[in-house]
Amino acid sequence: MKNSMFLLSLLFVILFSCAKDKSSITNFNEESNNLYTDLSGIISKNDSPFYIEGPTRVPKGKTLIIKPGVTILFKAADIDSGDFWWHDSTIDVGFLRVDGKLIAEGTQTDSIIFTKNSSKPNDYWGIIYFSETADPNSIISFSRIEYASSILDIESRVIGRCITCWFSNVTIKNNLIQNNIDFGVYLSNSETIVENNIIKNCHFGINTWAFDQYAYLQPVIRNNIVIRNRWMGISIFKPNPLLENNTICFNENHGLHIEIIQNQKSINNIIWGNGNAQVFLDLHATIDLSYSDIEGGWPGAGNIDSDPLFINPQNNDYHLSDESPCKNAGSPLTEYNDHDGSRNDMGAYGGPHGNW
């Protein structure tokens, strides 16, 4: 009798443990037989660090909530020789695909960390990829995303680069995105909100791209600090984003790079100290750039060419000093007023969204 009770108790424990398990292996892409681990539910601080060992997805119709203070450790691998190719059977890194809803909201004092499980300098994990079925209420905020890479050809015509949005209109705000081998944020055919982020030490900071028929889309890129990236700060290759109150400084090549777009509108930005061109126009592109501080000058209403006098850029403090010529020098239209009602301050801390 005692043995029977013990076996029943053991069976109950096993079943209860299985019920708590949030993941299961599924053949997501039948055509290529790529395996994903399904992940949904809640990851709390008690579960931290939480390990993602391989291709993982939030399934369509499901929600993954990551609570403040959680560290997500992705399995990393040596990528010194180039990007990961999805069709390569030797790929062995962790990454997260979102077909459903991801709510990853940290706080100012207790952020979420997405990073690698390795201290080796050439090791990187994969990407966070929002697919076309991702819930538009998905958000990553008050998080640190670092040491991500690229996964090429993740599905037909799709390249994944760090945080990638493919026909997905989610929110990426109040994050520190740094030290990625390729991009910080990559938007394809999307109207994502990219706001109040610091993006640094990547190859490209922010990039947008779209098929010709989706050139009318307007992602929102505002109040970001895009600094010290190894190639370009912000690169726009369709669609035509709303580009407001960004600080784009000290990137090694171009600050703002525009291709093809006619009459790209950009306002209230600071573009300063970039290594090659502050603003570069390619392939017959044109730009309506106004009320901005551009080193070397640029034609347009309200533009200036003056040292922005940041408080302490060497220590990543890009607030404006009291003597800055960029204070109260942005657009005089009330819709661009600072959060305190005063005239717009150029750069990332100005405008109605600059209180961060």
Residue 4: the pLDDT is 44
Whether 327 is covered by a domain: the verdict is no
State what percent of residues in the chain have pLDDT above 70.
87
Whether 207 is covered by a domain: the verdict is yes
Q: Are 83 and 152 in contact (CB under 8 A)?
A: yes
| pLDDT tens-digit map of 272-315 | 999 999 999 987 899 999 999 999 999 999 999 999 999 999 99
| pLDDT tens-digit map of 65-109 | 999 999 999 999 887 655 676 666 566 889 999 999 999 999 999
Residue 119: the pLDDT is 95
Whether 9 is covered by a domain: the verdict is no
Whether 338 is covered by a domain: the verdict is no
| 153-157 own/partner pairs: CB under 8 Å, 24+ apart | 153/85, 153/86, 153/87, 154/86, 154/97, 154/127, 154/129, 155/29, 155/86, 155/131
pLDDT at 233 over 50: yes
| pLDDT tens-digit map of 197-216 | 999 999 999 999 999 899 88
pLDDT at 33 over 50: no
Bridge partners, residue 84, by sequence? 151
Residue 260: the pLDDT is 83
Residue 15: the pLDDT is 34
Give the pair of three-digit tokens for residue 284.
């017959």
Its pTM stands at: 0.89
Whether 82 is covered by a domain: the verdict is yes
Whether 10 is covered by a domain: the verdict is no
Average the pLDDT over 117-134 and give the result: 94
Whether 248 is covered by a domain: the verdict is yes
Whether 255 is covered by a domain: the verdict is yes
What average pLDDT is seen over the chain?
A: 88
Number of domains in the chain: 1
Domain boundaries, position 179 = 22-310
Closest C-alpha to 257, from 208, 217, 214 = 208
